Chain A
Amino acid sequence: MLKIAIEKIDELFALVAQNQALYIPSDNKDGAAEYTRWSEGVKYSNALNTLRSAKDFFFPQTEDLVDFKMSGKNIEIIDIRKETEDFVIFGVRACDAKSFFILDNVYLSEPVDSYYKNRREHATVITMACSKPSETCFCSAFGIDATQPGGDVECASDGTSFFFEAKTEKGKAFIDSVSSLLSDGDTAELDNAKAKTKEILAKLPLAELSTESFGADKLTELFNSDKWAGLSESCLACGTCTFVCPTCQCYDIKDFDTGHGIKRYRCWDSCMYSDFTKMAHGNPRLTQLERFRQRFMHKLVYYPANYDGVFGCVGCGRCLAKCPISMNIVKVMKALEVK
């Protein structure tokens, strides 16, 4: 397999960045990893996961959709869409890589979301196999193998080198473009490292988490469960879980009066918020219990009902780490589980 020594990775970054914008996880001042545009001096972080997920590349928190210009009684509609430039994301973990497909199901089915599609088509995704999973990880519950993260190019490390394997045509083109820096390498050490990671994955505290009790056919019993009241009782109704989540996909559309026109933009919405899906007739979910339930029903029942049984969670563990009151999908699943 083709490889590059870890200490030479900056050379590869420099080569890639000559032609395209390159984003890599890098530690910020607070010590948390964040995707950062690479330039000389930006160091790759080996952190397990970035603070915010990689979905931001395709589905940013805010985005301008269209402008309106008023003159007298005329309204001019200005299409502000333009072709995204090619870019590369390096170091995407298996969970985030899977989340792209969960978003694709929603945004690339008819009617196709052209804003999303534009960015998705111009991105090359280089993944990174996990080597040090955390106690909050539970991707295996959703059939994800953290040692085989996929993407356009699958990358993994044995501690001394990064190994690259193209998974798509785009991935092949990427490898061709950096082949001058890569050499053929023996994967014995890499196989060892992956086997060790698999042992750890099997020992994780959430390794046994089961999705058996969830899915499209469990709608009525789960919806009517008497457990929701207790589970949601201390929820603060903040949007932390939804905003750090790589698969949360809801948005709201707002108009911003610029003084000489209107900017119509969309921004992430959160089912935890009181005006979520509020319509002219009113609000379909009046209590926090209903809003809280929506989030987990969406991931565990509604999404699989719409997309061939695929669950809308990838087990990245960000919500487990970030919820101010430590309520999360794992606790919900354990409470609702039918044993």
Chain B
Amino acid sequence: MQPIPLWKLPFVARKNVFRQMDPDDVFNLSMTSMKSKLIIMKLHKLPPANFSWHIGRHQGNFWNGTCVVSIVEDEMNLYICFVDPNINGIKVFVEDLREGKSFVEKYLTSILFDPNGKQVVPQIVNRIYNTKAFYQSQKKRRDNKTMWRLLSRKNKAGFKKIMEKNRVAQTKQMQDGLTKYRRPSETSQFWITAEGWNLREGLQTTGFVQNIFFKLCKKSG
């Protein structure tokens, strides 16, 4: 096949190509060179995804990274929230690692909610994130975070107010859009994929010690 020089296409066309590509392909394209990555970061900014989880009595939410939860109970609640209003299909895949079988058919539960209806939640807007990152959720450095002790009393009060607002909104979201899932076994793996989008999360248990190793790995970034 004759190659087509992508970088020599006009700017509008190039942007158009990136926008029409599958996110997985965009990810692969960004891996070809540093220049590609920088260009794609500029042209194909993917919206951040926020994944909230609730496993037994442990709960939390974060943007990107790895988290270990030591105690797991049988019931698991999963919740995903996207900034992008265009996403409306989110599926939860459950896989048993021990059996090597997929429980997609048996245990597949779709998180049946329309993220379009969740726009009122201010949780994402108020977060500090690196705007230069491929994923907006990726922080450049840990110390970009404002240190709590350096804030003035007034700012602290403001933050507390926002956090409280978020907490209330999140609770409501959890009640509305939460999917409750009962683990089929201790060594189950949970895959959460947003249809045609940039998120692929793996959630797996390590069996004997009943630890859940929760890894949020962005397939496309």
- Note whether A and B form a binding pair: no
Residues in A lying within 8 Å of B, measured CB to CB: none
Residues in B lying within 8 Å of A, measured CB to CB: none
